[in-house]
Amino acid sequence: MIVSPISIKGGAAKRPLRHFDTRSANGRLVFNLFGSFAQFERELISKRTKAGLQAARSRDHQGGRPAALDDKQRKELRRLHRKGDLTIRQLCELFAISKTTLYRNLKQ
């Protein structure tokens, strides 16, 4: 695993309080066990997260942040933008959105 490349370069990991030294067979075993447990835990978390998202989808739950504008507001934004009487800043203030959100909604 990770101990071999370190030891090839002459390095070692020591943990003074528990005598955790990767220069010995016992130290490498413990180090690799901890690494395996960490990887196992990461995979469990990933699996549980995916299962939770799948369960939410089966209940018709859409994740993520709600849209800043609904369809009616988006149409009004486009209409006012085409009309050209208001500046971009004024449109943003009118709809309480950022410039990025305004341009994203004009593209859609």
Read off the pLDDT of residues 19-71 as tens digits, 9 standing for 90 and up: 678 888 888 898 899 999 999 999 999 999 999 999 999 999 888 888 899 99
The tokens 């370069």 sit on which residue? 9
Which residue(s) pair with 20 in the sheet?
15
The tokens 């449109």 sit on which residue? 91
- Measured CA to CA, the distance from residue 17 to residue 105 in angstroms comes to 58
Q: Which amino acid is at 5?
A: P
Q: Say if residue 18's pLDDT is above 70.
A: no
Query: Does the predicted TM-score (pTM) go above 0.75?
Result: no
Task: Give whole-number Cα distances, 17 to 3, 10, 20, 21, 27, in Å.
Answer: 20, 22, 8, 11, 13
Lowest mean pLDDT among 10-14, 56-60, 88-92: 10-14
